[in-house]
Amino acid sequence: MTNLARASYTDTFRHAFDAKGRITVPSEWRQPSFEESLFVLPSSDKCLKVYPASWLGRLQEQVSLLKSADPMRLGVEVLASKAQSATFDQQGRIMVKEKLREGAGLKKEAVLIGRLDHFQIWDKATWEKKDTATMTVEEALSAIGL
């Protein structure tokens, strides 16, 4: 059994977009074990989901095995047309295109939420309205059968 240490996006951070649409990614998520190349994707959850490039690479490998007319492949191709690549500037920020910010209802104040293999960017007011009940580690493990 291989013991692979994975960089995991955890915790919650509050940051603001600047006038150019840039937002600081927490320094914890910019350590050497994390990837520098990211993809920003729209979500039906009214947030943006940000994945490391390797995630998209694995998806691309799976899609390459499908026929060109396969509905799953076509769906992923549509997703790719909406994805934005992003890398960190010298201040640890990524730029998020206006159309993606608008589509997610993002204003100036935002919340970055770690989701293990990716992170999400939420409008601060929208996030605060969500039911984010506290869950213990025991409850979480029990919910997934562990």
User: Percent of the chain beyond pLDDT 90?
Assistant: 63
* Cα–Cα distance, 134 to 42 (Å, whole number): 26
Q: Is residue 7 a part of any domain in this protein?
A: no
Q: How many domains is the chain built from?
A: 1
Q: Is residue 110 a part of any domain in this protein?
A: yes
How many residues comprise the chain? Answer: 146
Provide mean pLDDT across the span 83-104. 96
pLDDT at 5: 54
Whole-prediction pTM: 0.85
Structural domain including 130 reads 12-143
Q: Are 25 and 88 in contact (CB under 8 A)?
A: yes
* HEC assignment per residue over 118-144: CEEEEEHHHHHHCCCCCCCHHHHHHHC
Measured over the CA atoms of residue 51, residue 88, residue 14 and residue 125, the dihedral's sign is: negative
